[in-house]
């Protein structure tokens, strides 16, 4: 197994600021916008962006929710290992709001398809956008593309992208891991 650094801590920080600025350009004061972290790993990115927007760009009271898509996946009955659901936490109405889905890695697109189905339980958003830290562009099974991307990565199928967060994994970094 080999591991290659795709993004250092400094590069992750620069990308987070760029993504925050792109969100501000589009959503201004966020009064009609909701950030939704896709469970499990998209929540870490969503929390970091919310923190940046509120504390470094002075945008108050950004709505942030967490969406569990476990039982909305089209492959959830195909796995032999038991599934562990995460907690959905959306304490607001999404009806006629702009929703920004946030996930760490866009791979096949199936998680996002599941999120599109799951969010409908909370109302009908006026618009849904997708923000990802890493876009694995050659791995898509569905025609889903991000509106905001931190970095585009060309990884082949037996390679894995691992995103590490300071508060969860002890460092901010992104690695490309080859299991061969």
Residues 101-111: pLDDT tens digits? Answer: 999 999 999 99
Share of the chain above pLDDT 70, in %: 91
**Looking at residue 73, what is its pLDDT?**
58
Total-model pTM: 0.92
Q: What is the mean pLDDT of the chain?
A: 90
**Looking at residue 155, what is its pLDDT?**
82
d(CA 84, CA 155): 27
**Looking at residue 83, what is its pLDDT?**
57
CA angle 177, 108, 45 (to 5 degrees): 70
Closest CA to 163 of 151, 155, 171, 173: 173
d(CA 161, CA 155): 8
The 3-state DSSP class for residue 152 equals strand
Q: How confident is the model at residue 175 (pLDDT cuts 50, 70, 90)?
A: very high
Q: Note the pLDDT tens digit of each residue in 119-171.
A: 998 999 999 999 999 999 888 889 999 999 999 998 877 889 999 999 999 99
Q: How large is the average pLDDT for residues 48-58?
A: 97
Q: Is the pLDDT of residue 84 over 70?
A: no
E strands, the chain, are: 2-7, 33-38, 63-67, 98-106, 127-136, 148-153, 159-164, 173-178
């Amino acid at each position: 197994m080999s591991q290659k650094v795709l993004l250092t801590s400094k590069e992750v920080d620069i990308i987070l600021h760029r993504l925050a600025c792109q969100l501000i350009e589009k959503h201004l004061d966020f009064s009609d916008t909701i950030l939704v972290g896709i469970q499990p790993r998209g929540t870490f990115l969503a929390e970091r962006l919310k923190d940046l927007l509120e504390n470094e760009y002075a945008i108050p009271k950004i709505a942030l929710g967490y969406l569990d898509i476990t039982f909305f996946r089209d492959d959830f009955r195909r796995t032999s290992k038991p599934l562990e659901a995460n907690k959905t936490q959306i304490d607001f109405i999404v009806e006629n709001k702009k929703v920004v889905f946030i996930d760490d890695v866009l791979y096949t697109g199936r998680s996002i398809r599941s999120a599109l189905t799951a969010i409908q339980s909370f109302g009908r958003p006026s618009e849904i956008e997708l923000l990802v830290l890493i876009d694995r562009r050659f791995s898509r099974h569905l025609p889903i593309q991000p509106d905001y991307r931190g970095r585009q990565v060309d990884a082949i199928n037996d390679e894995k992208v691992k995103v590490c967060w300071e508060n969860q994994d002890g460092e901010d970094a992104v690695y490309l891991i080859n299991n061969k």
